[in-house]
Amino acid sequence: MQTIKQAIEDIRLGKMVVVIDDELRENEGDLIIAAEKVTPAAINFMIKKGGGLICLAMQGVDLDNLSVGFMNPDRAPDDLSTPFTMSIDARYGITTGISAEERARTILTAVNPAASAADLVMPGHIFPLRGRDNGILERPGHTEASIDLARLAGLRPAGVICEIIGEDGSMLRGQALVDYAQFHGLSLISVRDLIVYREQHEPEALIPILAKIDRMQKTAAAPLKTDYGIFEIQVYRDRVTQLEHVALLMGDRETFTNPLIRIHSSCVTGDIFASQQCDCGKQLQFAMQKIAEEGQGLIIYLDQEGRGIGLTNKIRAYALQKEGHDTVSANLALGMPIDSRDYVIATDLLKQLGIKNVRLMTNNPTKLHTLSVLMEGKVERVPHQISEQGLSCHHYLKTKRDYLGHMLQESTSNQ
């Protein structure tokens, strides 16, 4: 897959991209182009090479200005199904409205900032969709993805989308979508990658959403005796991704006022097999040691292997590192994001535990920024310095410092 930044640039230039939906939803792919960049040729490509319904995704405020209401006037506010409105045609310059040229004209008319209800007729041959106010962070669908991509590209927040149908009439999925995008020279991204991109770059957009939902569901808890003392291990399931994450607590949570915490992403190679290619295992052990010394604290252990790209891709990246790549360039060579970890889920877990003020063991600026924006109380950074003595991952640590912006001294290692 391409990076989100590449997809945003393609959208800015008027190119199409392919966006894969969440596998827990439709698990399908859509062609997406910025609405203001649409052309008859683009519509014709969608008709012939996409095959699905061509829809115009717009923000609610813009549809209201055009007096375009829901197709079902009794639609519930919390309904997350496809948000169809009444179909439209441009009032002027249209014959039947069905040709590629006339559908493009209708779209350009609707997204013109000067347009009004008088410029449209209903019903028509273009099907507007009403996007959620908080975009893909509120509803992880193609409608919101297209609007967010256009907005992130500096364009009017509206997109044209079309499902991709195979030669046999079934929806393309999985590897078939990868092959399709490669054949047509289109960037391919996932809804999930776009969500993480927005969480990392626009964490303030999550504040109204997190106030309304509890994303993490506690599923189990038990005492856990360790080399560093007795912790309570709690398991949480993410209602969005269905991934399971762990909270490791020491001490009486009711007495927590400003606990020492560590947010640690899973690392099978480092945490379990003591890999010398990273310092993850030593970071985890050091965090447990520091919490034990204070007698209270919390480790949030997130299922985000390989900075979010998964174990298979992480090991593929290891193979590329043997050929001279570093931890950043290896991800890019695989077409993977440099870092797609999600720290928002950690803030939701802390909220459920009733923890408002924390001392965060980290040197990761993204982690620190996300918590600082989303936490209700104070977030104090505690440098998480691990001695490099005995480690053979100096190049890895240098890459984290120089390319990922981690606040590391020359002779320390943290994440």
Is residue 83 reached through a cis peptide bond, with omega within 30 degrees of 0 on the bond before it?
no
12 given a catalytic annotation: no
Q: Is the pLDDT of residue 390 over 60?
A: no
341 given a catalytic annotation: yes
Pick the more confident residue, 73 or 83. 83
The CA-atom distances, in angstroms, between 237 and each of 25, 27, 241, 309 are: 17, 21, 8, 19
Classify domain 4-201 by CATH number: 3.90.870.10
CA 182, 186, 191, 194 torsion: positive or negative?
Answer: positive
Pick the more confident residue, 238 or 407. 238
CB-based contact 153:12 (threshold 8 Å): yes
- Reported as a pLDDT band with limits 50, 70 and 90, residue 279 is confident
- Reported as a pLDDT band with limits 50, 70 and 90, residue 6 is very high
Pick the more confident residue, 195 or 335. 195
Pick the more confident residue, 202 or 230. 230
Task: Share the mean pLDDT of the chain.
Answer: 88
Q: What residues have CB less than 8 Å from 262, skipping those under 6 apart?
A: 283, 284, 287, 291, 297, 298, 299, 300, 360, 361, 362, 384
- One fold for 4-201 and 208-304+341-413: no
Looking at residue 164, its pLDDT comes to 97
Looking at residue 412, its pLDDT comes to 43
pLDDT tens readout for residues 22-40: 654 456 899 999 999 999 9
CA distance 199 to 2: 18
Looking at residue 24, its pLDDT comes to 44
Among 262, 341, 381, 401, the active-site one is: 341
* Among the ranges given (196-205, 293-302, 399-408), the one the predictor scored with the smallest mean pLDDT: 399-408
CA distance 365 to 371: 10
* Among the ranges given (68-72, 95-99, 290-294), the one the predictor scored with the smallest mean pLDDT: 68-72
Q: Thinking of the domain 208-304+341-413, which architecture would CATH place it in?
A: 3-Layer(aba) Sandwich (3.40)
Among 193, 339, 342, 348, the active-site one is: 339
Q: Is the pLDDT of residue 307 over 60?
A: yes
Tell me which range, 210-214, 254-258, 261-265, is most confidently predicted by mean pLDDT: 261-265
pLDDT tens readout for residues 223-246: 999 999 999 999 999 887 788 999
Looking at residue 116, its pLDDT comes to 96
- Reported as a pLDDT band with limits 50, 70 and 90, residue 102 is very high
Looking at residue 338, its pLDDT comes to 79
Of 242, 261, 245, residue with least CA distance to 253: 261
- Reported as a pLDDT band with limits 50, 70 and 90, residue 346 is very high
Where are the domains positioned within the chain?
4-201, 208-304+341-413
Tell me which range, 11-15, 309-313, 320-324, 378-382, is most confidently predicted by mean pLDDT: 11-15
Per-position DSSP letters for 176-199, written without gaps between them: HHHHHHHHHT-EEEEHHHHHHHHH
Averaged over 248-256, what is the pLDDT?
92
Averaged over 366-371, what is the pLDDT?
87
CA distance 323 to 334: 13
Taking the CB of residue 411, how many other CB atoms lie within 10 A of it? 11
